[in-house]
Amino acid sequence: MHVEVIAVGKLKEKYWVEALREYEKRLSAYVTLNIHEVPDEPAAETLSDAERLLVLRREADRMEKLLRPRDGIVLMDIQGKAMSSEVWSDTYAGLLGEGFGRLVFVIGGSNGVHPDLRKRARVRWSFGPLTLPHQLARVVLLEQLYRGIRIMRGEPYHK
């Protein structure tokens, strides 16, 4: 399976990059993985609704250039469905059976994602009600993808 991760913003800190590389290495036995970083839109701390929507539109435009019509989009969304690792594994297996060309995981910027991109998502997945830094969310995403695949295949993994 081809898996793409599209994330707003750039990983700068060495420790996040190292953690990401570790899970990329582990996942390479199971999927073809590509990670794309799109620039975040400079924005003030406080935005009007119209300004926020404009920021989200610009970021969505950058992300949509990387999307294809047959992609199965999984949006990382605090308002999405929280899943245990086992439920995520079942969800992943179901997505594999839907015939998507690629699975694309989208991590928006600090202002979220544009509603048009949200509507395209096949699954909206939340890591729960807590707010994670976007850099950490990327690492958690790859770890949970790896864990879910191992569970699906009946291979051992820490419980």
CATH numbers and ranges of domains, the chain: 2-152 (3.40.1280.10)
Enter the tokens of residue 94.
């179901």
What percentage of residues in the chain have a pLDDT greater than 70?
A: 99
Query: What is the reported pLDDT for 130?
Result: 87
Residue 115 marked in a binding site: no
- Give 109's DSSP letter: B
Q: Which residue has the higher pLDDT, 14 or 132?
A: 14
Answer yes or no: pTM beyond 0.85. yes
What are the pLDDT digits (tens) for 64-91?
999 999 999 999 999 999 999 999 999 9
pLDDT tens, residue by residue, 33-57: 999 999 998 877 888 999 999 999 9
The DSSP string of 68-106 is -TTEEEEEEEEEEEE--HHHHHHHHHHHHTTT-SEEEEE
State yes or no: pLDDT of 134 exceeds 70. yes
In this predicted structure, what is the pLDDT of residue 154? 95
Q: Is 130 annotated as a binding residue?
A: yes
Confirm or deny that 42 is annotated as ligand binding.
no
Mean pLDDT value across the chain: 94
Position 157 confidence tier, pLDDT thresholds 50, 70, 90: confident
Is 128 within any annotated ligand binding site? yes
The band of 104, judged by pLDDT with boundaries at 50, 70 and 90, is very high
Question: Strand order of the sheet with strand 71-82?
Answer: 32-38, 2-8, 102-107, 71-82, 123-126
What are 12's two structure tokens? 């700068």
CA proximity to 46, closest of 111, 107, 109, 108? 111
CB 64 within 8 A of CB 117: yes
- 46 labelled binding-site residue: no
pLDDT at residue 159 above 60? no
